[in-house]
Amino acid sequence: MEKEKMKVGVLISGRGTNLQALIDACADADFPAKIVLVISNVADAYGLKRAKDADIPTVFIDHKAYPTREHFDAVIDSALRESGVEFVCLAGFMRILSEEFVEHWRNRLINIHPSLLPAFKGLDTHQRAIDAGVTITGCTVHFVRPAMDDGPIIVQAAVPVLPGDDAERLAARILESEHVIYPLALRLVAEGRASVEGEKTILKDGAPTAESLINPSPG
């Protein structure tokens, strides 16, 4: 008999390339999770088309239709529960979630951010990394906590900042790694290999890389 897969809901606001990476990963019969619902707060988000193309149910929930953040979040929460969602992935979801929602989904809610957290939280991440003159930045998948871009880190990828980079070029390079680490993080969690203890993620049978990324290269 097929092993029961973890039922995942994905929240998006835009083009959904990370959603696509998760959809592609879930297409593998061995992947331990399946996406059962995609929610967007933007009616024409391209990610909705990606979900429909993959035969995944979608809903548009307009944040502007609700008087408060808590009302909006309660509607999202109901939609997730009605679909039997057990775990939630934020993938370019551009709304801050209420503390109540985050606590309800505590350790069952993850996010991807295009920096090596805790550096460069918030918006405009790539330009701020360039302006700071860092030579290595990257991306992070983490469990969500009420504070923005905060919470136990599951997987990170280090990505070099190269001479002549502008925010767009750097973002494109980081995005390639995002598409690798988001499915990896979801797999680790769904297989019960990533759990939170004392606000740190403990990885079971993880294979941490021992290599350093040095930029510029000494060679």
Near ligand GRF by CB under 6 A, which window of 1-9, 26-34, 79-87, 112-120? 112-120
Cα–Cα dist 45/77, whole Å: 20
Nearest to 11 by CA among 27, 3, 1, 22: 22
Does the footprint of ligand GRF cover residue 112 (CB under 6 A)?
yes
Number of residues that bind ligand GRF (CB under 6 A): 13
**List 63, 71, 113, 126, catalytic entry:** 113
Near ligand GRF by CB under 6 A, which window of 13-21, 35-43, 61-69, 208-216? 13-21
Residues 6+ positions from 149 with CB-CB distance below 8 Å: 111, 113, 117, 118, 121, 122, 142
Nearest to 80 by CA among 113, 99, 58: 58
Which residues within the stretch 157-186 sit at the binding site for ligand GRF (CB under 6 A)?
Answer: 175, 178
Number of H helices and E strands in the chain, helices first, is: 6, 9
Q: Is 113 among the residues known to form the active site?
A: yes
Does the footprint of ligand GRF cover residue 115 (CB under 6 A)?
no
3-state secondary structure of 72: helix
Measured from the CB atom, is 67 or 146 closer to ligand GRF? 146
* Residue 49 Cβ vs ligand GRF, minimum distance, rounded to whole Å: 12
3-state secondary structure of 219: coil
* Residue 4 Cβ vs ligand GRF, minimum distance, rounded to whole Å: 27
Measured from the CB atom, is 85 or 174 closer to ligand GRF? 174
* Residue 142 Cβ vs ligand GRF, minimum distance, rounded to whole Å: 11
Q: How far is CA 71 from the centre of its chain?
A: 23
Which residues within the stretch 15-74 sit at the binding site for ligand GRF (CB under 6 A)?
Answer: 15-19
Is residue 179 a contact partner of residue 155, using CB atoms and an 8 Å limit? no
Residues at the site binding ligand GRF, with contacts judged by CB under 6 A: 14-19, 91-92, 112-114, 175, 178
